[in-house]
């Protein structure tokens, strides 16, 4: 996937401009950049990842694409741990939940970070069986159950995109109560 693909898989969420967002498991920022493109320059985005080198690369890429890092805050942290973040209008988790078995607990924690009616965006491989590199992926059907179990409204499928690795990706949105 390239930057346009990242933007287009999230675009059907019709995100409002601005707000305060977090990208949990941001890595080097492929989807952070897409999120910023969709919510615009007035948004505040907290990019959270436990790998400091990835966060340095994210800041570099963000600065090149947007002419600086205004609105971007990086946090070196494991998103399963308590996070010192403001109340959020949305959370993006792109290819980060598939590393963890305890999805209901993580999703419940994420719900606790969100303002009422805030949005959770998930990008994931649309399969329920993993491998060494993607140990715990989950299909959209599985996400539907996980999200509701964690207290979110019924998620909606935003888009899919082919992948040469594990078939295809999907993007989904779920609202906090």
120-176 tens-digit pLDDT: 999 998 888 877 787 778 899 999 999 999 999 999 999 999 877 767 999 999 999
Those residues with Cβ within 8 angstroms of residue 20's Cβ, 6 or more apart along the chain or in another chain: 43, 44, 46, 86, 87, 88, 89
Distances (CA, A) of 80 to 11, 24, 34, 93, 107: 27, 9, 23, 12, 10
Give the pLDDT score at 118. Answer: 97
Give the pLDDT score at 129. Answer: 83
State the pTM of this model.
0.94
Residue 69 phi, psi dihedral angles, 5° rounding: -110, 25
pLDDT in tens, 61-117: 999 999 999 999 999 999 999 999 999 999 999 999 877 788 899 999 999 999 999
Domain ranges of the chain: 3-175
**Mean pLDDT for the stretch of residues 23-45:** 97
Q: Which of 37, 32, 41, 33 is nearest to 11 (CA)?
A: 37
CATH number of 3-175: 3.40.50.150
């Amino acid at each position: 996937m390239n930057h346009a693909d990242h933007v287009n898989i999230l675009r059907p969420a019709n995100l409002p401009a601005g707000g305060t967002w977090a990208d949990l498991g941001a890595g080097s920022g492929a989807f952070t950049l897409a999120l910023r493109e969709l919510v615009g320059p007035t948004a505040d985005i907290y990019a959270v990842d436990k790998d400091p080198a990835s966060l340095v690369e994210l800041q570099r890429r963000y600065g090149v694409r947007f002419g600086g890092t205004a609105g971007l805050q990086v946090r070196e942290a494991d998103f399963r741990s308590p996070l010192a973040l403001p109340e959020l209008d949305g959370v993006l988790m792109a290819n980060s939940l598939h590393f963890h078995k305890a999805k209901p607990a993580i999703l419940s924690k994420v719900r606790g970070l969100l303002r009422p009616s805030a949005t959770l965006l998930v990008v994931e491989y649309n399969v329920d069986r993993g491998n060494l590199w993607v140990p715990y992926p989950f299909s959209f059907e599985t996400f539907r159950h996980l999200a509701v179990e964690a207290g979110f409204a019924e998620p909606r499928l935003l888009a899919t995109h082919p992948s040469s690795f594990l078939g295809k990706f999907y993007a989904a949105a779920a609202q906090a109560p």
